[in-house]
Chains A and B, each alone.
Chain A
Amino acid sequence: MSQEIAVVGSPEFTTGFRLAGVRRFENVPDDEKESELDDAVTTALDDEDVGIVVMHDDDLDHLSRNVRQNVETSVEPVVVTIGSGTGGGGLRDQIKRAIGIDLMEEDEEEDSDSE
């Protein structure tokens, strides 16, 4: 079954992806993120034709607790966050819980050493 990519975020964020051909997008202006972003993300996650949801890292902070947890653990569709942070979001906590060691910490330290 072929699926599509969806983008959720501010109009500035989604425009670029639309330029690459992504037609499923949820535009949420910055000043409406607190109230509207939850619904936009939930809509994208519930859409069966969507296989990947792209979001900005900083937008995760505007999400409510439940939706954020869904975003972090969702596998179908998978949410890929890009932007400022190292990415992964809740992945780091999940790794810490499952393996028992913070594997991502080492890499970050290595990165900062090399800088």
Chain B
Amino acid sequence: MAKDVKPTRKNLMEIEDRIELSERGHGTLEKKRDGLIMEFMDILDKAQDVRGDLADDYDQAQRKINMARAMEGDVAVRGAAAALQEHPEITTESKNIMGVVVPQIESSRVSKDLSERGYGIMGTSARIDEAAEAYEDLLESIILAAEVETAMKKMLREIETTKRRVNALEFKLLPDLYDSQEYIEQKLEEQEREETFRLKKIKEKKEQEEKEAREAEADEDDIEIDEADMEPPATGGVPGN
């Protein structure tokens, strides 16, 4: 790139402006990247806790439903499952963490009373209720995990993009600009030196010419004087007449 730019003072000024802007941007992006990583660490801690709870809840729910299946039979459990009237819903709101929009998920109608579930109390047993309750808890954990994991995914994407930008500035754009700046500065200095040298040469040449002119003039004067000395006086007649 360094060789592509024309070594002019205007280009040098433009490159210096771009360097200033890129350095400022590089600093800001670096700070953003570090900030994002710190925020990400907090979210990661939270995610690990949520994951742990999720695994426990899943084990618990599995145990409960297996028990219900064993005692009541698979058909009864499926029948109860098909009878559910209320369905859990989620609404998403967003929160901004350093420019990254992360969701905040609100859930409704996840935990339900026995009467709200829709399957008859008489036809089912407490084991199915327990399994349903365990799965409702599991859903709560899943919703929390979804919120945290979406935030993590979005933050990771942003960190990656920011990191790429920082690296592009640090290892590609800025070095290229520095090279161009150095190239133009050196070229301009060389031009200046050439100019000084040329002026010196011109001055020398001029002085030489002046000197020669002066010498030539002096020579001409000498010849004229000599010629004047050599000429005989015009007033004198022929001697002896």
**How many Å lie between the Cα of A52 and that of B40 in the bound state?**
21
Number of B residues with CB within 8 Å of any CB on chain A: 53
Given contacts A80-B142, A107-B48, contact A17 B135 (CB under 8 A): yes
**How many Å lie between the Cα of A95 and that of B108 in the bound state?**
32
**B149 interface neighbour in A4, A80, A97, Cβ under 8 Å:** A80
B29 within 8 A of A: no
User: Do A98 and B163 touch (CB < 8 A)?
Assistant: yes
**B44 interface neighbour in A22, A75, A97, A103, Cβ under 8 Å:** A103
By a CB distance below 8 angstroms, the chain A residues around B44 are 95, 103
Number of A residues with CB within 8 Å of any CB on chain B: 34
A56-88 residues with Cβ-Cβ distance < 8 A to B are: 73, 75, 78, 80, 82-83, 86-88
B78-100 residues with Cβ-Cβ distance < 8 A to A are: 78, 80-82, 84, 86-92
Within the complex, the shortest CB–CB distance from B98 to chain A, in Å, comes to 14
With CB as the reference atom, state the residue of chain A lying closest to B105: A51
| A52, A94, A107, most chain B CB atoms within 10 A | A52
Given contacts A18-B84, A21-B84, contact A91 B153 (CB under 8 A): yes
The SS class assigned to the A binding surface is mixed
Q: Scoring B residues 144 to 183 as 1 if CB is less than 8 Å from chain A, else 0, what string do you get?
A: 0110011011101101100100000000000000000000
User: Do A15 and B37 touch (CB < 8 A)?
Assistant: no
Measuring CB to CB, which residues of chain B are less than 8 angstroms from any residue of chain A? 37, 40, 44, 47-48, 51, 54-55, 58, 61-62, 65, 77-78, 80-82, 84, 86-92, 105, 108-110, 112, 117, 128, 131-132, 134-136, 138-139, 142-143, 145-146, 149-150, 152-154, 156-157, 159-160, 163
